[in-house]
Copies of this chain bind each other. A is one copy, B any other.
């Protein structure tokens, strides 16, 4: 029976939007209020929504589906236009407000986010962190770099031969006493600066990490401001630059390589807050070697926040799709669902694949909030101490710096890994349609991958944090010292050792406070075991790298769970039952099950409890979270334009939305035949093989030639 609604149909089609509407009709908490919990403060939540609104409307900055069809040159031109647009906002608002804007923008345009972060984050933070006040003021204010004006900075740390081992970079900065200059030089191909974001086309300046050589002595890696291009944007003499070309993703960034051939810069272009070279070649060394990497902290903190926003964005897509999409009939018919295919979200497996990431997003929200505050506090304290030239306060800040190094290193690595896992699972959970460019997964997965290895390779960072944990446990257990700061939980020390099971029942396993303690105990037990291994192997830390990475992951969960439990107390009462389900699913899945063989191996839980967690508790809590699944994702308060996925619209009208995007981006009238159609036709209509072989191999030829 043919009938007409908005089109002529012969049978009734699917009505996915009705499913979404149904879910919202039974919302049991206020998503707007929940957003305040996620963002930490009413004011911040308001700020984020204002930014969403401004960005979704700004015709230059708003994400579009065209971005999924762009070539690399298109992407670069678009991102350049967006940097220009962002610069106008930078002129009107304070640094912190602009940083929040940058953070929001990064969630939908990672290339744009990084292009600006390299300039204002890495380049300028490096000058701020390593340069004198005069140097910072000169470039930030007088030369207006802080407004993205006059000059554009890039960050010359990594080389073709050295990435993770920054202390090993081989570019040289040799002091020339006679001219009071440094000579910057790339000694061989391996020392070519490589991957430098913004170098290929944009940057006018670079902070170069180079070995300071004074009177033949190598003082290790220091930082230097080196102009790359003049005001006409011509390359300076001695500076060779090229585009490093195709990447997995982030097409909008013009990463480049740079070679310096005896390029001279004035002595006062060396950043000299901590390290100084006098006119006479006297060298003052910094109090802490790591201090020159302090500008990297900002990026790591950012990446933890990024991880939250990216999971929030794409778990929203996958869960809306899971509510909208129906496939197969359930193995047991549910009441009122006679003869209807089941919504994906009602399959226990589908719940188990996605809902733990929903829970994780909640934990990452509060965890990355705390990390941001930790980092801001450090910078403020540092500024304060330096302003007052208060030595004691400066030393305290250096201790604080180490702490933020560890926390951010651990969270950066764990959260970016978890977000990558989430993106892959969410993409697969959208089935074939998840592979469409317009679903958004393809671009973000390619763009995201770099987070695993840049600004501190995840494994290298995690090993470093794991080492700190083990050293701290050694302090507590063997040296009888107290740990201060965010790792103070290690101070329970020997009490944690042994084989006593911390969790013995299903009630224990679903108790967040008990699981937090159990997790802390596990960290101490593994660390202590690592100390034994170290003794056995003669102190070879490399041999326990696997365990160090594991410890860093566990530590991230400890940090997030601890924070959640603090924030939970302050949450609005109406939200608490729903936050409880979230945190319980999180501890059961992402902690107890994910690390179950360690929990069992170190005696923290036993085998039967693990079996109950896997087979009973996780499905139970999945079902509880499922009941409010759309409200939980609505709490992220991301509008359609920011999410920018053909599968993830608020209304859930997925088939019409998807088809419309496809037709808008690929008008079928325009390509009735492909540009390569002639080639296809020539193939299909080719002559016979005999003819193309000039009939040289047929019977006639054979009889002639074999005579």
Spell out A's residues near B (CB within 8 Å).
7, 9-14, 68-69, 71-73, 76-77, 80-81, 83-84, 87, 91, 148-152, 158, 160-165, 168, 170, 172, 185, 187-192, 194-195, 200-202, 204, 233-235, 240-249, 254, 257, 327-328, 330-332, 341, 347-349, 352-353, 420, 424, 427-428, 431-438, 441-442, 445-446, 449-450, 452-454, 457-459, 463, 529, 533, 538-543, 545-547, 549, 593, 596-597, 600-601, 603, 607-608, 610-611, 614-615, 619, 655-656, 658-659, 662-663, 665-668, 671-677, 679-686, 689
In the assembled complex, the Cα of A579 lies from the Cα of B182 at a distance in Å of: 56
In the assembled complex, the Cα of A666 lies from the Cα of B428 at a distance in Å of: 35
Known A161-B655, A162-B327, A442-B249; contact A663-B242, beta-carbon cutoff 8 A:
yes
- Please give, as numbers and ranges, the residues of chain B lying within 8 Å of A168 by CB-CB distance: 327-328, 341
The 5 closest A-B pairs by CB, nearest first: A246-B437, A248-B442, A13-B188, A242-B668, A201-B674
- Please give, as numbers and ranges, the residues of chain B lying within 8 Å of A165 by CB-CB distance: 327-328, 341
Pick from B192, B435, B608, B668: contact of A659, CB under 8 Å: B192
Q: With CB as the reference atom, state the residue of chain B lying closest to A152.
A: B684
Q: With CB as the reference atom, state the residue of chain B lying closest to A596.
A: B597
In the assembled complex, the Cα of A546 lies from the Cα of B679 at a distance in Å of: 48
Known A76-B674, A674-B254; contact A689-B91, beta-carbon cutoff 8 A:
yes
Pick from B9, B81, B244, B665: contact of A246, CB under 8 Å: B665
**Besides A84-B683, A148-B684, A435-B450, 12 other A-B contacts (C-beta < 8 A):** A9-B188, A13-B191, A73-B675, A73-B676, A76-B674, A76-B675, A165-B328, A235-B672, A349-B459, A442-B449, A445-B445, A446-B446
Q: Contact at B349–A542, with CB atoms within 8 Å?
A: yes
Q: Contact at B600–A673, with CB atoms within 8 Å?
A: no
Q: Contact at B655–A245, with CB atoms within 8 Å?
A: no
In the assembled complex, the Cα of A11 lies from the Cα of B191 at a distance in Å of: 10
In the assembled complex, the Cα of A688 lies from the Cα of B347 at a distance in Å of: 59
Q: Contact at A10–B188, with CB atoms within 8 Å?
A: yes
In the assembled complex, the Cα of A332 lies from the Cα of B433 at a distance in Å of: 51
- Please give, as numbers and ranges, the residues of chain B lying within 8 Å of A331 by CB-CB distance: 539-542
Q: Contact at A245–B9, with CB atoms within 8 Å?
A: no
Q: Contact at A12–B188, with CB atoms within 8 Å?
A: yes
In the assembled complex, the Cα of A671 lies from the Cα of B684 at a distance in Å of: 40
Q: Contact at A432–B596, with CB atoms within 8 Å?
A: no
Known A457-B431, A601-B607, A685-B150; contact A666-B242, beta-carbon cutoff 8 A:
yes
In the assembled complex, the Cα of A234 lies from the Cα of B244 at a distance in Å of: 43
Of A87, A431, A432, chain B has the most CB atoms within 10 Å of the CB of A432
Q: Contact at A248–B673, with CB atoms within 8 Å?
A: no
- Please give, as numbers and ranges, the residues of chain B lying within 8 Å of A684 by CB-CB distance: 148-152, 204
Q: Contact at A189–B437, with CB atoms within 8 Å?
A: no
Pick from B172, B348, B436, B673: contact of A233, CB under 8 Å: B673
- Please give, as numbers and ranges, the residues of chain B lying within 8 Å of A11 by CB-CB distance: 170, 172, 187-188, 191
Q: Contact at B257–A662, with CB atoms within 8 Å?
A: yes
Q: With CB as the reference atom, state the residue of chain B lying closest to A87.
A: B683
- Please give, as numbers and ranges, the residues of chain B lying within 8 Å of A542 by CB-CB distance: 330-332, 347-349
Q: Contact at A655–B87, with CB atoms within 8 Å?
A: no
- Please give, as numbers and ranges, the residues of chain B lying within 8 Å of A436 by CB-CB distance: 244-248
- Please give, as numbers and ranges, the residues of chain B lying within 8 Å of A543 by CB-CB distance: 348, 619
What is the minimal beta-carbon distance from A655 to any residue of chain B, in angstroms?
A: 5
Q: With CB as the reference atom, state the residue of chain B lying closest to A7.
A: B189
Q: With CB as the reference atom, state the residue of chain B lying closest to A348.
A: B543
Q: Contact at B190–A533, with CB atoms within 8 Å?
A: no
What is the minimal beta-carbon distance from A575 to any residue of chain B, in angstroms?
A: 29
Known A152-B684, A656-B189, A663-B242; contact A458-B428, beta-carbon cutoff 8 A:
yes
Q: Contact at A327–B163, with CB atoms within 8 Å?
A: yes
Q: Contact at A190–B655, with CB atoms within 8 Å?
A: yes
Q: With CB as the reference atom, state the residue of chain B lying closest to A147.
A: B689
Pick from B152, B433, B541: contact of A680, CB under 8 Å: B152
What would be 19 A-B contacts, judged by CB atoms less than 8 Å apart? A10-B185, A11-B191, A13-B189, A69-B246, A165-B341, A202-B680, A243-B668, A246-B438, A247-B442, A248-B427, A254-B674, A427-B449, A428-B453, A428-B457, A431-B453, A434-B453, A435-B449, A543-B619, A601-B614
Pick from B248, B463, B545: contact of A435, CB under 8 Å: B248
What is the minimal beta-carbon distance from A570 to any residue of chain B, in angstroms?
A: 35
Pick from B242, B254, B428, B679: contact of A452, CB under 8 Å: B428
Q: Contact at B457–A674, with CB atoms within 8 Å?
A: no
- Please give, as numbers and ranges, the residues of chain B lying within 8 Å of A10 by CB-CB distance: 172, 185, 187-188
- Please give, as numbers and ranges, the residues of chain B lying within 8 Å of A614 by CB-CB distance: 546, 597, 601
